[in-house]
Amino acid sequence: MAAATVVMAASRSNKSIFKMIKKHELEVDELRPLYMDFQATTPMDPRVLDAMLPYQVNYYGNPHSRTHAYGWESETAMEAARKQVADLIGADPREIIFTSGATESNNMAIKGVARFYQAKKRHVITSQTEHKCVLDSCRILEAEGFDVTYLPVKQNGLVDLELLEASIRPDTSLVSVMTVNNEIGVKQPIKEIGKICRSKGVFLHTDAAQAVGKVPINVSDWKVDLMSISGHKIYGPKGVGALYVRRRPRVRLEPLQNGGGQERGLRSGTVPTPLAVGLGAACSIAQQEMEYDHDRVSMLANRLVQKITSAIPDVIMNGDAEQRYPGCVNLSFAYVEGESLLMALKDVALSSGSACTSASLEPSYVLRAIGADEDLAHSSIRFGIGRFTTEDEVDYTAEKCIHQVRRLREMSPLWEMVQDGIDLKSIKWTQH
């Protein structure tokens, strides 16, 4: 018992020492890593901050206070922001509900629709490569007695439309498929899925956190009924997002949060005016600069992939090569451990997958869903390119990556065996 206590105390001590070392490194290291993780979050655009500041300091009224000028000022700003969000996706401002982010929006949409229509419909369809908050919301519904179908995806990461249509039942209330995947960047055929769902009388929800402001979206053309939006993925503030809820044909959902009845009674609580203004400004800037940003990000992504794949062999791009958002590049480096490569590239901020599950040592469930071998799933790195990425940063990242992959492979006995012409899959490994 005493020994266990000593071990636990030592473990806590080691953790605190590690935190102190990390803190010290951040304080003394003036050269911060290059940022290449734009799928995890984006830096706030300075123009967004400019729009927000007056509502942090001077215009601080509660937007729901109807009896004085402070409230009216904030309400006007909030409604202007609502219109900016709506304009970006081709919606009516009355269809935009402010939330704390895409996780809340996804929870509201999936649980809200399923619970509202549960008397007649108790079946929900989603895909195996959705964000964790969508999958966990579906698990909660299963615990409540709902039937959930988790669609497999093809090797390119795309949903099989015929399988999706065949999976829809008379008691299906909702289909939830994300627009752009946060790990491998594939862009699902949401417009085609929307046609199928509308023809079957089923609501379609899409998690568009990685797509809004980056690819053109029109909810009417796509026949989307609910859409989740995140502020910090489009150079806006953290802590704010939105849920698009169609008015005609009307979508009903049971609120998760009750109280003062704000946001059409769907999301009670005071709307944070500065954050809403920031989200609106981010959407407005994205609408103006989307085409330029997309062309530039495409050029930088092509430059990165070309440099890496032309210099080192056995590099696999995960996900469909054409149907994708170019700013999310997920590469697997055969015979290299992804975590080792991340540590070797410590002067570049990269990820081995979703930021929400990056603490796990398990290989990405998204890569497993597209059929990647476990060793390749373990060797993947996600490169995130965005509005403020420079050519010099891309070149530096590519050169460092090439150098470190070569170095790690030279240390790998597996790489040596492959060079000697041995087929690793033919070896029967034994455990001692």
Residues recorded for the chain = 432
Quick one: pLDDT at residue 320?
96
Quick one: pLDDT at residue 16?
64
E strand or H helix that includes residue 97: strand 96-99
> How many other β-carbons are positioned within 10 Å of the β-carbon of residue 244?
28
Flag whether pLDDT at 4 surpasses 60: no
Q: Do the Cβ atoms of 171 and 122 come closer than 8 Å?
A: yes
Average pLDDT, integer, range 258-285: 96
Task: Taking each helix axis as running N to C, give the angle between helix 273-311 and helix 69-89, from 0 to 180 degrees, rounded to the nearest 10.
Answer: 30
Instruction: CATH number for 48-285: choose from 1.10.357.10, 3.40.640.10, 3.40.50.720, 3.30.420.40.
Output: 3.40.640.10
Residue range(s) occupied by CATH 3.90.1150.10 in the chain: 290-421
Give the SS3 label for residue 149: strand
Q: Please state the pTM of the whole predicted model.
A: 0.90
Catalytic residue IDs: 356
CATH superfamily of 290-421: Aspartate Aminotransferase, domain 1 (3.90.1150.10)
Flag whether pLDDT at 244 surpasses 90: yes
Query: Could you tell me the two tokens for 98?
Result: 């402010």
E strand or H helix that includes residue 245: strand 241-245
Flag whether pLDDT at 85 surpasses 80: yes
Greater confidence (21 vs 165) lies with: 165
Residue range(s) occupied by CATH 3.40.640.10 in the chain: 48-285
Quick one: pLDDT at residue 5?
44
Using CB atoms within 10 Å of the CB of residue 14, give its burial: 0 to 12 exposed, 13 to 18 middle, 19+ buried: exposed
